């Protein structure tokens, strides 16, 4: 994702302090609901705990249900006020590149 941000957002660098990347862990190693400890171990394994703007959260049972599965994998762009700016569930495909990533630069004031 970091490479795509750099390529498609109008010059925003992936480590820009105004960005936060939130990953949601959906299952533990036994395909059960993960705990906070599972999320911490996952972040450590992938070295995400060493970067300031990376967060790994443990999902709940709702995300394992059929409704939640319809959006996975998916990407959501949330603005600084906590409003949903762009939603790209897995069915969106190319919208990640045509809608979400270009909007990152716009929200952060990048030049086109």
Q: What is the pTM of this model?
A: 0.77
pLDDT at 112 over 60: no
Q: In this model, does residue 63 exceed pLDDT 70?
A: yes
Measure Cα distances from 85 to 35, 38, 39, 56, 79 in Å.
29, 29, 26, 21, 6
From the CA atom positions of the chain, what is the Rg in Å?
15
Lowest mean pLDDT among 9-18, 71-80, 88-97: 88-97
Residue-wise pLDDT for 42-53, tens only, equals 999 999 888 888
pLDDT digits (tens, 9 = 90+) for 8-42: 777 788 888 888 889 889 889 999 999 999 999 99
Residue 73 · residue 34 · CB < 8 Å:
no
Domains of the chain, residue spans: 2-108
């Amino acid at each position: 994702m970091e490479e795509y941000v750099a390529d498609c957002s109008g010059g925003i660098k992936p480590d820009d302090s105004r960005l936060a990347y939130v990953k949601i862990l959906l299952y533990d190693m036994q395909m059960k609901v993960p705990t906070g400890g599972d999320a911490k171990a996952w972040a450590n394994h992938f070295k995400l705990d060493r970067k300031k703007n990376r967060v790994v959260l443990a999902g709940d049972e709702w995300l394992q249900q059929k409704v939640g599965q319809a959006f996975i994998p998916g990407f959501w762009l949330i603005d600084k006020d906590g409003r949903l700016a762009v939603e790209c569930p897995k069915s969106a495909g190319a919208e990640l590149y045509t809608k979400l990533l270009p909007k990152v630069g716009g929200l952060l004031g990048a030049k086109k």
